[in-house]
Structure 1
Amino acid sequence: MGPQRIVCLTEEPTETLYALGEQHRIVGISGFTVRPAIARKEKPKVSAFTSAKIDDILKLQPDFVVGFSDIQSEIAAELIKRGVEVWISNHRSVDGILDYIQRLGALVGAAQRARDYADGLRRGLDAIERDSQRLQRRPKVYFEEWDEPLITGIRWVAELVRIAGGDDVFPRQAAEPLAKHRILADPAQVIPLAPDIVFGSWCGKKFRPERVAARPGWDAIPAVRDGELHEIKSPLILQPGPAALSDGVAEIARIIQAWARR
């Protein structure tokens, strides 16, 4: 039967459980949840990303809490001290997301449905990659996760850029799991890499392309010169779950294909 009263501290377990038809198990969600939209109407919001309403969570009498990454370690520790079973996943790649979906599905007795769902997402990625292989030229891509300081894209983002037909200009940083190791000490580091496209996804706030274009020396960057500064909404790409492998990568591919036609 698996856990019956699940609290999801981030969006990706909520989206996954809804996709698997197991949303009746969810008793609390993250306040940042936007997918699926109905979850915000149906489920109480008991956490942010770096903080949580511990007493409110305990009142829900969860038998399982799901979170993500070292950033939620203190929340997890407090809940564990209070006798709650907690799973903190730490996946950072496309394969990791697909594996996460299958593990979560298995935990709630929906292993086959989770495998089928993950397989469908993989087929979608394969189709996008086949299309991208027809490009005459691959754009160099700079993905910016935050602007103060500049933080480059995490591994699954770089992998999705590649699948969609681009090449991430900071592959070494993308391999770093922690955001603090993906900080650029100087925005001028981007200039000699000459990205053709800049994607911005400033987690939780609106991307401002005019601010990017106004950075000293950035007028020499092809993406700035050609107006190729694009926002990818953070719920579509910065959640390590189904959204990134469906709508997020599709939006990246759409922009890259349009660049290639131009």
Structure 2
Amino acid sequence: MKGQPAGPQRIVCLTEEPTETLYALGAQDRIVGISGFTVRPPQARREKPKVSAFTSAKVEAILALKPDLAIGFSDIQADIAAELVRRGVEVWIANHRSVEGILDYIERLGALVGLPAEARAYADGLRRGLDAVEAQAALLPRRPKVYFEEWDEPIITGIRWVGELIRIAGGDDIFPELSVEPLAKARILANGDPVVERAPDIILGSWCGKKFRPERVAARPGWGAIPAVRDGELHEIKSPLILQPGPAALTDGIGGIAAIIARWSQRQARSGN
């Protein structure tokens, strides 16, 4: 007779990526609470109570769910984690920042809930998808310089897994040196001059929690000289698809980036540039 699956049985997901991963592994029944910012998978919003945001949480509501594990991400949720720990909840705060880190996170989470084989198979499938994108990108006639902006006031850029996805999709991130910085405050640009100087061919925007406004970006002092602005190559990648270090970034997120880069490259080839 098959017993209860191993690992925690009542999980609160403080960000979206553990929710999406657990659904993909068939462990969604373990989830008792989710982040209010969760949009993937869509049914999670319908089925699960929303008990947290990025930097705050309804601690009493979480405790009422009697979780045996809460899962969050990074220093941004340190205060939530500390309060839950003080109240007797076991907490796992992951801090993965790279594409390989995301894949490793999926496997670690799978092991934690007693589904290591399923998690390994899922991660391997995501790897194959990335390999296919990279192989297709290798056929493009030109690689664009790409600027990715995750916030506008102040300007923040250089998030590591996004830069890696840009490379896999056939482009080159213009601020690769910032990718080693895990904290957003270390990736703030004092002003827009460095972007103007590095002259990106494509600008991708994903402002966490608000709509990207390309007209505002284009109107910044001196930015009219940037090739991306001159050619109208300013594009939004929805933040749930790229700013969460989980499956979404490795599927729909990179898919959106790859499509933009492919269209740019093909136009350049047709124009003889």
TM-score, L = length of structure 1: 0.99
Asked if residue 175 in structure 1 is aligned to residue 180 in structure 2, the reply is yes
Which residue number corresponds to residue 59 of structure 1? 64
Q: Whole-Å Cα distance in 2 between the matches of residues 86 and 145 of structure 1?
A: 27
CA offsets 1:36-64 (integer angstroms, 9 cap, x no match): 01000000000001000000000000000
Is 2:141 aligned against 1:101? no
Unaligned ranges ≥5, structure 1? none
- In the TM superposition, 1:47-196 aligns within 5 A as 47-196=52-201
- Looking at structure 2, the residues matched to 76 and 86 of structure 1 have their Cα atoms a distance apart, in angstroms, of 6
Deviation at 1:153, TM superposition (A): 3.2
Q: Among the aligned pairs, what percent are the same residue?
A: 77
> Match for 2:225: what amino acid?
A
Partner of 1:26: 31
* CA distance, structure 2, for counterparts of residue 247 and residue 180 of structure 1: 27
Q: Residue 143 of structure 1 aligns to which amino acid in structure 2?
A: F
SS of aligned partner of 1:87: strand
CA distance in 1, matches of 2:81, 2:236: 32
Q: How does 1:166-245 map to 2 (within 5 A)?
A: 166-245=171-250
| Structure 1: distance between partners of 2:228 and 2:82 | 44
Where has structure 1 moved over 4 Å in runs of 4 or more?
none
Q: Does 1:7 align with 2:12?
A: yes
The alpha carbon displacement at 1:141 in A equals 0.3
Report how many residues are paired. 262
Q: Measure the CA separation in 2 of the matches of 1:242 and 1:248.
A: 9
C-alpha deviations, 1:3-39, integer Å up to 9, x for none?
Answer: 0000000000000000000000000000000000100
Is the CA contact (8 Å cut-off) linking 2:166 and 2:173 kept in structure 1?
yes
State the one-letter code of the partner of 2:26: G
Could you give the per-residue CA deviations for residues 109-130 of structure 1, whole angstroms, max 9, x where no partner exists? 1110100000000000000001
- Which deviates more from structure 2 when the two are superposed, residues 22-31 or residues 129-138? 129-138
Residue identity in the other structure for 1:116: A
CA distance in 1, matches of 2:170, 2:100: 18
What amino acid is aligned across from residue 81 of structure 2 in structure 1?
A
